[in-house]
A and B are shown apart, each in its own frame.
Chain A
Amino acid sequence: MKAPDFSYLRAESVDQALDLLARHGDDARLLAGGQSLMATLNLRLSAPSVLVDLNHIPDLAGITETETAVRIGAMTRHVAVERSPVVARHLPLIAAAMPHVAHAAIRNRGTLGGSLALADPAAEMPACALALQAVLEIAGPGGRRRVAAADFFHGLFETDLAPDEILVAIEYPKAPAGARWGFRELARRHGDYAMVGLAAMVEGDPICGAGRLAYFAVEDRPVLAHAPASKLVGEVIDDTAITAAEDALDADLDPHGDLHADAATKRHLARVLTRRVLGDLRTV
């Protein structure tokens, strides 16, 4: 189908975009990469009367590095993140996950901030943000604020963003020395949304000092599974630790069935992925 009628307004700055949001309220939607929004418009699942285009705000895109963190502007396209040497060096989990995000033509247009702000529960980037303890920088009428990824995802397509706010950047702490990552997802076709996915980060080699396991496409938002991660702490990652983590999974995951798999299948697949990803990270 074709998109419903709407007005198109191009913002040249974050302040102007905030003004437009304030003026048009609930009738307005922000247009980032448009790779999900345009589909929902064409399917008439959404009918905003105004689109505020963020694609012409220069300071919203770009990847910068500080001593301890990598900051990625919200309008940085997936392809730029995928090809960034800074990301490859300091955020290898993101570099590994990015090729799984949709398809090349969509990554050429889609943005990191758009993916996080949409908060599709089956998307890769929200789970990576959790695993990496990213901080999201948000601009609103009252100024800027920072929110931890763990507090950002509220539910199905719901986030901490208020209707008059804009996600401007995502800051990822650089991986500490000895940190290792694992990423896998199960999808019927390369580039499809995952049936179940896991983004994992462990610190310490060979003894695990901390671990974060972020599952996606399991519940209504990406989930940090604390119980299995706690089974790794203070241990070498071997068969015993992997089995303990796998067995602890049920305490944290409450899978929701969807079109692709029912809850029991997702529970099973989450166990399978846990074994595979921790197998990738085993230290003995």
Chain B
Amino acid sequence: MASPVDISLTINGEPVDERVPARLSLVDFLRARMDLTGSHVGCEHGVCGACTVRLDGAIVRGCLTLAVQADGAVVETIEGVSDTGEIADLQEAFIRHAALQCGFCTPAMLLTAAELIANRPNADREEIRAFISGNYCRCTGYQAIVDAVEDVLASRQEGAGT
């Protein structure tokens, strides 16, 4: 067995020190060690996007990043981002539009949509679709998700303008 590695990082604002096997993915670390099970494990090869988390402020695939690579980094998961209220309006919009059914893709979809909203406040439906194309939803057909994101973009624009 290869030797484990000591890591220190910040998860949802809390400092964490752990010893992990090198091969442990970030999402498995968050779920199994930190009990943060809002990040989901789907395909484990970077296709479905269900494992999306934030690493130093940007969304990444939790299955394509090693826990040891998060050493020294700031990690945010859906639990942390929900608690801060940063995406409360987005979560409300998902509920209002029924933009989820089984909910498996939802935490990752929210984090992805939040990055779009932060970086491209003027995105149109086509850009929304392109941006979330890395996140599979097998229930909704995406229409309601795009509606919800579009709604939040519009209401934040309105809020910014007043």
The answer to the question of B143 belonging to the interface, with a C-beta cut-off of 8 Å to chain A, is no
A103 to B134, CA, bound (A): 5
The interface-forming segment of A4-12, A64-72, A148-156, A225-233 is A4-12
Most chain-A Cβ atoms within 10 A of its Cβ — which of B1, B2, B5, B63? B2
**A5 in contact with B64 given A43-B45, A104-B131, A190-B133 (CB within 8 Å):** no
Instruction: Name which residue of chain A comes closest to B111, CB basis.
Output: A105
Check if A42 sits within 8 Å of B61, measured CB to CB: no
The distance in angstroms between the C-alpha atoms of A53 and B5, with both chains bound, is 13
Of B52-60, B87-95, B99-107, the one with at least 4 CB within 8 A of chain A: B52-60
**Pair B46/A190 contact, Cβ less than 8 Å:** no
Separation of A202 and B131 alpha carbons in the complex (Å): 30
Q: Using known A-B contacts A6-B2, A103-B49, A105-B52, determine if residue A39 contacts B64 with beta carbons closer than 8 Å.
A: yes
Give the one of B25, B28, B60, B112 with max A CB within 10 A: B60
The distance from the CB of B83 to the nearest CB of chain A, in whole angstroms, is 22
Report the minimal beta-carbon distance from A211 to chain B, rounded to whole angstroms: 29
Known: A108-B58, A190-B130. A6 touches B64 (CB 8 A): no
A2 & B133 in contact (Cβ 8 Å cutoff): no
Tell me which residues across on chain A come within 8 A of B63, comparing CB atoms: 38, 42
Contact of B69 among A34, A102, A106, A191 (CB under 8 A): A34
- Distance between Cα atoms of A79 and B23 in the complex (Å): 26
Find out whether the CB atom of A7 lies under 8 angstroms from the CB atom of B22. yes
- Judge whether A55 and B46 touch: CB under 8 Å: no
Are A8 and B22 in contact, CB atoms less than 8 angstroms apart? yes
Given A2-B28, A4-B23, A5-B1, A38 contacting B133 (CB threshold 8 A): no
Q: Does A177 contact B (CB under 8 A)?
A: no
Q: Which A residue sits closest to B120, measured CB to CB?
A: A104
Residues of chain A within 8 A (CB-CB) of B59 are 104-105, 108
**Residues of the A chain whose Cβ atoms lie less than 8 Å from the Cβ of B46:** 35, 38-39, 106
Is B10 engaged at the interface, CB distance under 8 Å to the other chain? no
Say whether A189 faces chain B, with CB atoms less than 8 Å apart: yes
Assuming A105-B52, A106-B61, A190-B129, is B2 touching A3 (CB within 8 A)? Answer: no
Residues of A within 8 A of B69 (CB): 34, 53, 55
A3, B64: Cβ atoms closer than 8 Å: no
Chain A residues whose CB sits within 8 angstroms of the CB of B22 once the complex forms: 5-8, 51
For the complex, is A251 an interface residue (Cβ under 8 Å from B)?
no
Interface residues on B, range: 20 to 34
Would you call A8 and B25 a contact (CB within 8 A)? no
Contact B60 A109 (CB under 8 A): yes
A8 touches B112 (CB 8 A): no
A-facing mask of B14-34, CB < 8 A → 1, else 0?
000000011101001000000
Q: Please, which residues of chain B bring their CB within 8 A of the CB of A102?
A: 134
A105 to B44 Cα, complex, angstroms: 14
A55–B68 alpha-carbon span in the complex (Å): 12
Is B162 in contact with chain A by the CB < 8 A criterion? no
Per-residue 0/1 for B45-85: is the Cβ within 8 Å of any A Cβ (1 yes, 0 no)? Answer: 11001001001001111011110110000000000000000
Q: A34-B64, A38-B64, A105-B49 are in contact. Are A191 and B133 (CB under 8 A)?
A: yes
Closest CB in chain B relative to A81 CB, distance in Å: 14
**Residue in B1, B5, B25, B49 whose CB lies within 8 Å of A3:** B25
**Cα of A49 to Cα of B64 in the assembled complex, Å:** 18
Q: A102: nearest residue on chain B (CB-CB)?
A: B134
Within 8 A of B (CB), among A18-75: 34-35, 38-39, 41-43, 49, 51, 53, 55
Chain A residues closer than 8 Å to B61, beta-carbon distance? 35, 105-106, 109
* Complex: A8 Cα to B63 Cα, angstroms: 17
Which one of B1, B64, B115, B131 lies within 8 Å of A35 (CB-CB)?
Answer: B64
CB-defined contacts of B45 to chain A, threshold 8 Å: 38-39, 42-43
CB <8 Å contact, A6 and B23:
yes
Interface residue A1 (Cβ < 8 Å from any Cβ of B): yes
Scoring A4, A43, A109 by chain B CB atoms within 10 A of each residue's CB, the highest score goes to A109
Sample (7) of A-B pairs whose CB atoms are under 8 Å apart: A2-B28, A42-B25, A49-B2, A103-B135, A104-B115, A105-B49, A106-B134
